[in-house]
Structures are given as C-alpha cells and as structure tokens.
C-alpha cells in the first residue's frame, strides 16, 4: 500500500431487476419476428449475456476478499430532466412506455423485462450519485456498480444491451448542476462507446478518449478519423486496436495519447466507462488484471494533477463473471491506495518460472563417464 484513500462503491439492488429472458413472451411485432429468426438460426441456445449474475459475482468476491478503504453507499433514480439532457423526449416516452413489459428494442438483441426500466433509471441515477460524491469531496473516488450498461445507448436508440447512457447522464449533470466546465470520459470497454460519442460529438465541454477493438468488431464505429465536429472537433479521441492487444499496447496509448490529451483539455472531472471485457477471458483482447490496475493508476494520477482527484468509474461490459469480478477488484485496490502494479507481457511470468526450474540442469558440470 502507498497512501490510504477512501473509495465509495455506489450500488442499488434494483439494478438486478433487469433480467430479459429470451424464452419469455415478448411484445408482438416485426422486431420480435426478426430477433426470433436470428436466434433460431443459432446452433446453440442463446441466453441474454447481460444478466444479474454479473453483479452478484462482483459482490460475492468483494465479500470474500474485501478491499480496505472501500465502503458502500446506495444509489438513486435519475429524474426525467436528468435523462433528457442526453436522450430525446420522444425516446424517453417510448422507453418509459415499456415499464413492466417484455420487449425487444433493437435487432442487436437489446431487450427489456418488467423491471428493466426502473433498473435503467437507477443505473443512471447511481452514476450521478457517484459524481456528486466526488465533486462534493465526500469521497476521494467512486465506483458506480450498475447495470444495464450504457455507453452504446444513443440519444434516440437503445443498442448493445444499453437502454440509457449512464456515463453521459452523469457527465451532463456535472456540467449542468455541479459547476464543472470540462469533463473527460475515458472509455476502455472492448467495444466502442458509440452512444457516448454521438451524444457529445459537437460538445467542446466533454472530451471522450475511447480505446477499443477496431471495426468491424461491434458496433463498427470509432475509427481514428472520428474526432468530433463543429465546436467539438478534436474533443473525440478514438484509439482503435487490433484483436488480442494487451497491457503494453494499452498502457502506451494511455501514456502517449491520453495523458497529453488530458493535460491539454484540463478537465474538472474524470469519468471512466470501465468495461472488463478487455480481459483475455472475454476472448477479444489480452489485457490482464494488472493491466486494468495500471490503467487505473494512470487516470488516478491525471485526476490528482488536473482536477483535485475527482474521479468516478461507471461499470460497462464484461461478460465472463470471473474476469469481471477480479477486474473490478483490481481497480478498487488501486483507487484505495495500493501500489500500482507494473504489468508484464503475457507469458513472461511462466517463462521466468520455467527458467528458474530448468536452468540448473543445463549449467552444472556434466557427470564423468
């Protein structure tokens, strides 16, 4: 441990009420038929990947292996006014009309169950609670443990398991109500945060740094040339990566792109869209738990230097429950003051262990005949 820091995890059990069941009776219509046709064409039974077990896995691990300095606080429901800063009123009307229903919202298999709308409102509100806490100084850093995730949700459309854009709602609230003039969003989920980019595309008050697996990987956006428009041109920083990229590449991007961009932008608040599908257990990238911790160290250092330590994380993706849980814990450890680990290239520990085990057999004097 270095300097002890207090960290607040914001969590509300109502986020567990979002539980789409692909075998349930959904609202009839053309979208339902199209999704059913897609699912019928699969060779295996498809289950909704974004399920309550993701949160249970995190909570179970933190109960078994608590992180000193971490405390829990409840979340809250976002208001319609707060949501309407980033989503159109017509979209909100449509979403709210699905309260207590089963429905498909998008052909990429985004769905709702009877408790989903309240869960989404709570997820967005809990992200706001995390931001309010770090702005007020009641905690040094915060982690909003929420679902459904949000960074694919666009102003007018649900996508990629996302209904409401939690991190965008929190950033807009900080700008509108908490005295912030510039907010930096760092998105390291393996998928590009197309919704967050769309919402702040022409907004000079929000910088989005998004590192992700490159197109054509879902959702297919986030190319280098996508840099924003109008007054916001240059405030969108995309770093598309090839599949299998790991700690060394990610940390170089953080140190050589994110750090100078943040120093230029001078944010009042840093938010992280933290997706743990970058870990190799989720099979798209090759980032380790130490890599997640090291990335946390970079953004924590930026927050300390640039915005009085104001730093809040918002959970996004991560669908292997083991890597999700341990990834979250690795972040919380650094936020709580643990020394930031220095990641090694994948396989180096195993090679060093093998060297120590075998080398003596080949360096001793050969036996006499």
Residues 131-157: pLDDT tens digits? 999 999 999 999 999 999 999 999 999
The helix/strand/coil state of 182 is coil
51, 87, 151, 152: which one is catalytic?
152
- Exposure letters 87-123 (e unless 16+ CB within 10 A, then b): beeebeeebeebeeebbbbbeebbbbbbbbbbbbbbb
Bridge partners, 261 (sequence order): none
Supply angle C-alpha 299, 322, 60, rounded to 5. Answer: 90
Q: What number of other Cβ atoms are within 10 A of residue 163's Cβ?
A: 29
Cβ neighbors of 21 (< 8 A, separation 6 or more) are 48, 102, 113
pLDDT number for residue 366: 61
Please give the distance of CA 318 from its chain centroid, rounded to a whole number: 8
Task: Judge whether 152 counts as a catalytic residue.
Answer: yes
What's the CA gap between 110 and 147, in Å, rounded?
13
DSSP labels for 268-295?
Answer: SEEEEEE-GGGBGGGSS-BB-HHHHHHH
Tell me the pTM: 0.95
Q: Copy the structure tokens of residue 62.
A: 């933190």
Work out the number of other CB atoms within 10 angstroms of the CB of residue 340: 17
CA distance 356 to 257: 37
d(Cα 161, Cα 62) in Å, to the nearest integer?
25
pLDDT digits (tens, 9 = 90+) for 319-360: 999 999 999 999 999 999 999 998 877 778 888 889 888 988
Under a CB-based contact definition with an 8 Å cutoff, are residues 282 and 217 in contact? Answer: no
Reference 276, options 309, 314, 248; nearest CA is: 314
Question: Would you state the structure tokens that stand for residue 201, as one six-digit string?
Answer: 């595309």
Q: How far is CA 56 from CA 11, 51, 179, 225, 230, in A?
A: 12, 10, 35, 39, 43
Q: Which residues of the chain have pLDDT under 50?
A: none
């Amino acid at each position: 441990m270095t300097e002890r820091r207090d960290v607040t995890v914001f969590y509300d059990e109502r986020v567990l009420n979002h539980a789409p069941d692909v075998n349930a009776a959904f609202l009839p219509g053309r979208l339902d038929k199209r999704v059913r046709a897609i699912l019928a064409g699969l060779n295996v039974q498809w289950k909704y990947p974004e399920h309550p077990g993701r949160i249970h896995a995190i909570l179970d691990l933190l109960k078994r292996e608590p992180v000193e300095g971490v405390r829990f606080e409840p979340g809250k429901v976002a208001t319609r006014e707060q949501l309407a800063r980033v989503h159109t009123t017509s979209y909100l009307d449509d979403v709210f009309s699905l309260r207590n229903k089963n429905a498909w919202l998008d052909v990429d298999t985004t769905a709702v169950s009877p408790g989903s709308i309240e869960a989404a409102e709570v997820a967005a509100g809990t992200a706001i609670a995390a931001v309010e806490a770090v702005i007020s100084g009641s905690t040094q850093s915060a982690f909003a443990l929420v679902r459904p995730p949000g960074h694919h949700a666009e102003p007018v459309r649900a996508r990629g398991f996302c209904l409401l854009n939690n991190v965008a709602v929190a950033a807009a609230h900080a700008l509108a109500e908490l005295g912030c003039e510039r907010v930096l969003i760092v998105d390291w989920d393996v998928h590009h945060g197309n919704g967050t980019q769309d919402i702040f595309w022409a907004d000079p008050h929000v910088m989005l740094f998004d590192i992700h697996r490159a197109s054509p990987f879902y959702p297919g956006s986030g190319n280098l040339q996508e840099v924003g428009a109008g007054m916001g041109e240059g405030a969108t920083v995309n770093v598309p990566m090839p599949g299998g990229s790991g700690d060394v590449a990610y940390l170089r991007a953080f140190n050589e792109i994110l750090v100078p961009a943040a120093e230029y932008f001078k944010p009042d608040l840093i938010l992280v869209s933290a997706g743990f599908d970058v870990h190799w257990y989720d099979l798209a990238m090759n980032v380790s738990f130490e890599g997640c911790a090291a990335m946390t160290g970079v953004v924590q250092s930026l927050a300390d230097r640039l915005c009085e330590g104001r730093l809040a994380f918002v959970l996004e993706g991560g669908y292997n429950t083991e890597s999700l849980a341990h990834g979250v814990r690795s972040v919380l450890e650094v936020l709580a003051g643990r020394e930031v680990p220095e990641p090694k290239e994948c396989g180096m520990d195993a090679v060093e262990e093998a060297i120590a085990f075998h080398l003596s057999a080949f360096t001793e004097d050969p036996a006499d005949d």
